[in-house]
Amino acid sequence: MAESAQQDESSPRSRTAKDLALALWFPAFFVLGFMLFYLLPFHAPSPHEIPVGVVGQQAATTVGGELERAVPGGFDVSPVAAAGDIQELIFERDVVAGYDPGAHTLYIAKADGMQLSQVLQGIFGPLAAGSGAPLQVIDLAPTAPGDGFGTALFYIAMAWNISGYIAVMMMMQAATLSRRTKLGALVGFGAGAAVVCWLFGTAIDAIPFHPEVLLVGFLLSQAVAWTTFGLAPFVKRALPGVAMGMFVLLSIPSSGGAIPKEMVPAFFQVLHHVMPLGQAIDAARGILYFDYSAITGPILGLLAWWAFGALLVALGAWKQRRAEAADPGDDPVVEEDRLEHRIAEALADEAAVGGAHAGSLTDARLLAHPVPTLIGRVAGDAGHPVPRARVTVVDGAGVQVDVAAGSEDGRFAVRGRGDEWVTVLVSAPGYEPLSERLRLHGPVSHRSFRLALPGHAATPYRAAPAPAAATP
């Protein structure tokens, strides 16, 4: 007896611990991720194999030795035949700076980041002073007048990047929308976000007026959005952590936007050429500041990410069709069990990504109110589903209890009143409205409805016996 009581007592504690773990794993992941992927690489940025061209073979050897003594492993020096070749090398992204010892001149590109420019001047200034002359600095790619710190492009690209991820997280809550509708919305939203950010950036002179960069913003948003959307059926409740890890924790430190990629550890320098945010910043810089040089590779990389996301979406659709084909949906009992399982699973998934909204099949109110719930499907005369049917529940006093729009495949979920008679009103464009009086029993009741075309009588909908309803 005591043992049974102990088990009963520990069960709520176990459930509480499990619920807390499910609720707090994502913020814990967020905290740890910022420490590992932001604090560690950013707390003390320093040069890491910065490619620099030096005029003259002998001068390159000498300068390379001095730089190695001053900053071990900080620079990768290569000889340049003449000072006139430096601009071409910088614009082709082969080097980030060039130095002409004979003229005591350092060639930089502020568009690569003010912090990198300052570090280069701080390193090469003493070298020129040691030769008895002040350092001359020539900026071959100055930033736009409104971009004093050289980071405006980074913040614009971040908006393109993160908005794609957030759009999917919010779209996951709209369970009544079809996959095709959601993907179309992501495309339209990405195009709109690209235009809005570009207009805002050019209006305040934060970036030069180059409409071609809109393509980069659109491709970045689609690369992130389609990949995130495509991952959902495979990672399920872990989606926020997986997507955040890929497109925020790994992408932003390696992007070369906030901190130049040449000043972060080698791991992030490698990721720069792989993650879509780094590819987008390289492509946008090439368009805005470097005469469209070296943009083919980054743009192809963004297209590859989008194609990868499309492949994931296709695999997810195939996986769903295969599961539905293997499920004997013609059995009403099995069909209703499957419906109840899908509702419960969708509720849990929505809780993991931030709740629901009023138009969602799995309404957040179902979580907050432990009242009997009516779920089912609305079909037409021929048995085909009626999309987005409106289902309204009214109590005996004529007060509206709940109203919801069904999904694209005819499914719906509404609240009722326990052990009370309610009237359910079902309507959809092009069909005769239907009214039925029901009494709900149990935590989840099932009832399906069949709507008739104007001038036709509705045929009964065959359903398994359920405690859902009977008409008085």
- For the stretch 283-298, pLDDT in tens is 999 999 999 999 999 9
> Under DSSP, is residue 338 helix (H, G, I), strand (E, B) or coil?
helix
| Band of pLDDT at residue 301, cut at 50, 70 and 90 | very high
Selection from 174-178, 283-287, 345-349 with the highest mean pLDDT: 283-287
Selection from 73-82, 388-397, 410-419 with the highest mean pLDDT: 73-82
How far does CA 105 lie from the centroid of its chain? 44
Question: Which range is least confidently modeled, 78-92, 225-239, 259-273, 331-345?
Answer: 331-345
How far is the CA of 456 from the CAs of 28, 428, 431, 453, in angstroms? Answer: 58, 15, 9, 5
Mean pLDDT (the chain) is: 83
Whether 350 shows a pLDDT value over 60: the answer reads: no
User: Between 201 and 472, where is the model more confident?
Assistant: 201
Helix axes 152-171, 213-235, angle to 10 degrees: 40
| Band of pLDDT at residue 157, cut at 50, 70 and 90 | very high
User: Which tokens in the block code for residue 233?
Assistant: 């059926």
| Band of pLDDT at residue 117, cut at 50, 70 and 90 | very high
Quote the pLDDT of residue 404: 84
Whether 387 shows a pLDDT value over 50: the answer reads: yes
Whether 413 shows a pLDDT value over 70: the answer reads: yes
| Band of pLDDT at residue 457, cut at 50, 70 and 90 | low
Quote the pLDDT of residue 420: 79
| Band of pLDDT at residue 341, cut at 50, 70 and 90 | low
User: Which tokens in the block code for residue 204?
Assistant: 């305040």
DSSP output for 260-275: -GGGS-HHHHHHHTTS
**Alpha helices for 245-331 (secondary structure H):** 251-254, 266-272, 276-289, 296-326
Quote the pLDDT of residue 327: 53
Sorted by sequence, the CB contacts under 8 Å of residue 323 that are 6+ apart come out as none
Outline where DSSP puts E strands in 396-453. Answer: 400-405, 411-415, 421-427, 434-439, 444-446, 449-450
According to CATH, the topology of domain 356-450 is Immunoglobulin-like (2.60.40)
Question: Which range is least confidently modeled, 1-10, 187-196, 269-278, 294-303?
Answer: 1-10
Q: 444, 427, 428: which is closest to 436 by C-alpha?
A: 427
Using a pLDDT cut of 70, give the percent of the chain over it.
82
Whether 422 shows a pLDDT value over 50: the answer reads: yes
Using a pLDDT cut of 90, give the percent of the chain over it.
53
| Band of pLDDT at residue 231, cut at 50, 70 and 90 | very high
CA separation for the pair 26, 238 (Å, rounded) = 9
| Segments of the chain assigned to CATH 2.60.40.10 | 356-450
Under a CB-based contact definition with an 8 Å cutoff, are residues 207 and 144 in contact? yes
Q: pTM to 2 decimals?
A: 0.72
User: Between 23 and 78, where is the model more confident?
Assistant: 78
